[in-house]
A and B are shown apart, each in its own frame.
Chain A
Amino acid sequence: MAEMDTSGGGGHKKGPGVKKAKKSSTRVDLTPMVDLGFLLITFFIFTTTMSQATAMKLFLPKDTDKPEEQNKAKESGALTLLLGKNHNVYYYEGTLDPSASNFKSSTMKQIRNEILTKKRSTNKDDLVIVIKPGSESTYKDVVDILDEMTINDISRYALVDISDVEGQLVSMSDANGAAGK
Chain B
Amino acid sequence: MSRPKIARKSTSVDMTAMCDVAFLLLAFFILTTKFKAAENITVETPSSVSSKVAPEKDVTLVSVTKDGKVYISMDNEKVKEAVANDLNANNGAGLSPADIAAFKKANFFGTPISQLKSALQIPTDKLKADALPGIPAQDTAHNEMVPWMRAIVAAHASTGTKLNLLFKGDNLAKYPAFKNVITSFKKNDQFKFSMVTASEGIPEGTDLWRKIMSGQSTESTE
Give complex CA distance A126, B52 in Å: 28
Residue of A29, A40, A53, A141 most packed against chain B (CB within 10 A):
A53
Contact status B174-A139, CB under 8 Å: yes
CB nearest to A134 among chain B residues: B175
> Contacts A60-B191, A133-B175: A139 and B46 contacting too (C-beta < 8 A)?
yes
- Tell me how far the C-beta of A55 lies from the nearest C-beta in chain B, rounded to whole angstroms: 4
Given A53-B197, A60-B192, 15 new contacts (CB under 8 A): A33-B22, A37-B23, A41-B22, A52-B199, A53-B53, A53-B54, A57-B194, A58-B192, A134-B175, A137-B174, A139-B169, A139-B178, A151-B206, A153-B207, A153-B211
Residue of A29, A61, A150 most packed against chain B (CB within 10 A):
A150
Contact status A34-B29, CB under 8 Å: no
Contact status A139-B171, CB under 8 Å: yes
Q: Is the CB of A54 closer than 8 A to any CB of chain B?
A: yes
Contact status A139-B64, CB under 8 Å: yes
Chain B residue contacts of A116, Cβ below 8 A? 207
- The contact of B192 among A53, A57, A112, by CB within 8 Å, is A57
Contact status B173-A138, CB under 8 Å: yes
- Tell me how far the C-beta of A132 lies from the nearest C-beta in chain B, rounded to whole angstroms: 10
Give complex CA distance A112, B193 in Å: 25
> Contacts A31-B15, A147-B49, A150-B49: A138 and B54 contacting too (C-beta < 8 A)?
no
Chain B contact surface mostly: mixed
Contact status A60-B186, CB under 8 Å: yes
5 closest pairs, A vs B, by CB? A37-B22, A30-B15, A55-B194, A139-B169, A55-B54
Contact status B206-A56, CB under 8 Å: no
> Contacts A34-B15, A41-B29, A139-B46: A58 and B175 contacting too (C-beta < 8 A)?
no
Give complex CA distance A40, B29 in Å: 10
The size class of the interface chain B forms with chain A is: 35 or more
Q: Is the CB of B87 closer than 8 A to any CB of chain A?
A: no
Contact status B48-A139, CB under 8 Å: no
Contact status B15-A140, CB under 8 Å: no
Give complex CA distance A55, B169 in Å: 12
Encoded as 1 (CB less than 8 Å from any A CB) or 0, chain B from 188 to 218 comes to: 0101111111110011001111010000000
Chain B residue contacts of A112, Cβ below 8 A? 206
Chain A residue contacts of B89, Cβ below 8 A? none
Give complex CA distance A140, B26 in Å: 38
Contact status A60-B185, CB under 8 Å: yes
CB nearest to A132 among chain B residues: B175
